[in-house]
Amino acid sequence: MTAGALELLERARTGDAHAIARTLSMLENDENGAAELVRATHRDTGKASVIGVTGPPGGGKSTLVSALVGAYRARGDRVAVVAVDPSSPFSGGAILGDRIRMRERFLDEGVFIRSMASRGHSGGLARATKRVVDMLDALGYGVVIVETVGVGQEEVDVMRVADTVCLVTVPGLGDGIQAIKAGVLEVADVIVVNKTDRPGADETVRDLTLALSLGPNKPDVWRPPIVRTNAMTEEGVDALVAAVAKHGAWARSSGEAERRSTAAARAEIETLARESLYRRLLTRIGADRLDQAAAAVAHRQRDPYTAVEELLS
């Protein structure tokens, strides 16, 4: 093991925030030492309760996450927050504001906050998020909350790291239904109607209940509960914590948790194997051969399938 990565990990294990941040950057950017960090910590992962919070912009996710941090912290859990913004190449802007507000609220060694933007992850945002979450899990954060903005495919992929995914909607705007149509419901385990102090909450709950009733109705299938919250006053936050715990218990007893972690492991192995085989191929044939093959295909002297067959033989 690289002495640097090992020393860093030791310091991170003592709770040193700078060391924790450095290990996360190493993992995110796949720097030298990242593989060593994964090897040294993999056995310690799988203990945290990983909660995903997603939904349309401005729905109150960050306010709700802050309330959740307070609720879990009050129960004695160490809590980490990973705020992921797939639309932004910079970890700054709105997320930075959230982070400052949260830091002010939790001047507390037991709370760690990390933000991640879309750029700079060699293996993609979802993989980087998984690595970051796994490290925080291994470092003993009992609850890791991942917030993503939006309702697209990238958010769905990021949310696959979570044991329980909370989809946050708001009254009016038809957002709840739109989100469901966009396929986010596929990953939602708990549906939150936030801003219930606003008009139209009852209608939104009714619409969502109807939409959900059209889904599969089998005894072994989880039917996402709908929880009403006002993140500003923290009304409904305890009910949300209870719904998340209930889903977690169901997932463990039904085998769903096992299925999810095996699927995530398989995806990671496939990606790493593909990368590793490709690196080996490049090492063996040399970059020149690749350039020549590319030129041959570009000049229509070879078709791409034949070119690959020749490289592999």
Ligand X SMILES: Nc1nc2c(ncn2[C@@H]2O[C@H](COP(=O)(O)OP(=O)(O)OP(=O)(O)O)[C@@H](O)[C@H]2O)c(=O)[nH]1
Burial class (CB in 10 A: 0-12, 13-18, 19+), 281: middle
Query: What x/- string results for residues 181 through 210 when contact with ligand X is judged by CB under 6 A?
Result: -------------xx-xx------------
Residue 169 interaction partner, one of Mg ion, ligand X, none, beta carbon < 5-8 Å per kind: none
Nearer to ligand X among residue 198 and residue 280 (C-beta) = 198
Q: Which of 29, 45, 33 is nearest to 9 (CA)?
A: 33
Residue 58 interaction partner, one of ligand X, Mg ion, none, beta carbon < 5-8 Å per kind: ligand X
Residue 197 interaction partner, one of ligand X, Mg ion, none, beta carbon < 5-8 Å per kind: ligand X
Shortest Å, Cβ 149 to Mg ion: 6
Question: Applying CB under 5 A, which of residues 41, 45, 49, 62 lies at the interface with Mg ion?
Answer: 62
Shortest Å, Cβ 25 to Mg ion: 22
> Which residues are 206's β-sheet partners?
none
Residue whose token pair is 């044939």: 285
Q: Say if residues 162 and 52 touch (Cβ distance below 8 Å).
A: yes
Shortest Å, Cβ 22 to ligand X: 26
Q: Say if residues 204 and 172 touch (Cβ distance below 8 Å).
A: yes
Q: Which residues of 203-216 are buried (b: 16+ CB within 10 A; e: fewer)?
A: ebbebbeebbeeee
Query: What x/- string results for residues 57 through 96 when contact with ligand X is judged by CB under 6 A?
Result: xxxxxxx------------------------------x--
Nearer to ligand X among residue 46 and residue 92 (C-beta) = 92
Shortest Å, Cβ 102 to Mg ion: 10
Residue 230 interaction partner, one of Mg ion, ligand X, none, beta carbon < 5-8 Å per kind: ligand X
Shortest Å, Cβ 288 to Mg ion: 48
Residue 174 interaction partner, one of Mg ion, ligand X, none, beta carbon < 5-8 Å per kind: none
Residue whose token pair is 């960090």: 37
Q: Say if residues 9 and 26 touch (Cβ distance below 8 Å).
A: no
Q: From 1-9, 24-32, 62-70, 299-307, give the range in contact with Mg ion by CB under 5 A.
A: 62-70
- In this structure, the chain runs to a length of 313
Shortest Å, Cβ 83 to Mg ion: 7
How far apart (Å, rounded) are the C-alpha atoms in residues 32 and 282?
19
Told to check if 169 binds ligand X by CB under 6 A, we report no
Shortest Å, Cβ 238 to ligand X: 15
Written as six digits, the tokens of 183 are 């396929």
Shortest Å, Cβ 159 to ligand X: 14
Question: Applying CB under 6 A, which of residues 113, 149, 161, 185 lies at the interface with ligand X?
Answer: 149
Question: Applying CB under 6 A, which of residues 52, 208, 230, 248 lies at the interface with ligand X?
Answer: 230
Residues that bind ligand X (CB under 6 A): 57-63, 94, 149, 194-195, 197-198, 230-232
Residues that bind Mg ion (CB under 5 A): 61-62
